[in-house]
Chain A
Amino acid sequence: MEPIYMNNCITSQPAPEVVEAMLPFLKNKFHFPENFIRTGTERANELSIFKQIIAESVKAPAAGIHFTASGTEANNLAIKGYLEANAHRGKHIICSVVDYPDILTNAAYFEEKGFEVSYLSSDEYAFIDLDELQEELRADTILVMTTLANHTVGTIQDVKTIKRLIDESESQAALLVDACQAYGRIAIDVDDLGIDLMSISAHKIHGPQGIGALYIRPGTSVAPTKHGVNRMDPLSTGSLSIANIAGFAKAVELAFTDFDENIKYIRDLRLYLFESIERKIEFTMLNGAPCENRIAHNLNVSFDFIEGEAILMMMDQYGINVATGSACFSEGLQANYVMMAMGRNHEQSHSSMKFTLSRYNTRQEIDYVVEKLAEIVTELRRRSPLYLDYIEKN
Chain B
Amino acid sequence: MQYSQKVLDHFMKPHNLGKLDNANGEATEGSPACGDQVSIWLQVNEDTQIIEDIGFLSYGCASNIATASIITDMAKGKTIAEAKDLSWKEAAEELDGLPPVKMHCSVLAVDTLRKAIKNYELTHHLIKEDKAALSKELVLEELGKILYPKVGEDLISLKMVKYAGVDDNGVVTVDIDIPKFDTFRENVADEVKEHLEKLPNVKEVHVNL
- Which residues of A are interface residues toward B (Cβ below 8 A)? 305-307, 309-310, 313-314, 317, 326-329, 331-335, 345-347, 350, 382-386, 388
Nearest CB on A from B125, distance (A) = 27
Closest 10 CB pairs of A and B: A309-B61, A328-B61, A346-B33, A385-B57, A313-B62, A333-B187, A385-B39, A350-B35, A332-B183, A347-B32
In the complex, the answer to whether A383 meets B12 with C-beta atoms within 8 Å is: no
Given contacts A310-B62, A334-B186, 8 further A-B contacts (CB under 8 A): A306-B59, A307-B59, A313-B11, A327-B35, A328-B64, A332-B183, A383-B14, A383-B58
Give the residue of B14, B17, B39, B187 whose beta carbon is less than 8 angstroms from that of A334: B187
- Which residues of B are interface residues toward A (Cβ below 8 A)? 3, 8, 11-12, 14, 17, 19, 28, 32-39, 57-62, 64-65, 101-102, 149, 183-187, 190
A317 closest partner in B (C-beta): B12
In the complex, the answer to whether B57 meets A388 with C-beta atoms within 8 Å is: yes
In the complex, the answer to whether B11 meets A328 with C-beta atoms within 8 Å is: no
In the complex, the answer to whether A326 meets B35 with C-beta atoms within 8 Å is: yes
8 A/B residue pairs, CB under 8 Å, sorted by A: A307-B36, A310-B64, A313-B3, A327-B35, A328-B36, A332-B183, A347-B33, A383-B17
Chain B residues, CB < 8 A from A331: 183
Once A317-B12, A328-B35 are accepted as A-B contacts, the answer to whether A305 and B187 lie under 8 Å apart by CB is no
Chain B residues, CB < 8 A from A382: 17
In the complex, the answer to whether B17 meets A333 with C-beta atoms within 8 Å is: no
Chain B residues, CB < 8 A from A329: 61
Once A305-B59, A385-B37, A388-B57 are accepted as A-B contacts, the answer to whether A310 and B28 lie under 8 Å apart by CB is no
Once A309-B62, A310-B62, A388-B19 are accepted as A-B contacts, the answer to whether A345 and B8 lie under 8 Å apart by CB is no
Chain A residues, CB < 8 A from B183: 331-332
Once A317-B12, A332-B183, A346-B33 are accepted as A-B contacts, the answer to whether A385 and B59 lie under 8 Å apart by CB is yes
B14, B64, B65, B102 pick with most chain A CB within 10 angstroms: B65
Chain B residues, CB < 8 A from A309: 35, 60-62
Chain A residues, CB < 8 A from B62: 309-310, 313-314
Q: Given the complex of chains A and B, what is the CA–CA distance between A317 and B101 in angstroms?
A: 21
In the complex, the answer to whether B28 meets A385 with C-beta atoms within 8 Å is: yes
A326 closest partner in B (C-beta): B35
Nearest CB on A from B85, distance (A) = 26
Q: Given the complex of chains A and B, what is the CA–CA distance between A51 and B96 in angstroms?
A: 52
Chain B residues, CB < 8 A from A314: 11-12, 62
Give the residue of A313, A317, A327, A384 whose beta carbon is less than 8 angstroms from that of B57: A384
Nearest CB on A from B138, distance (A) = 25
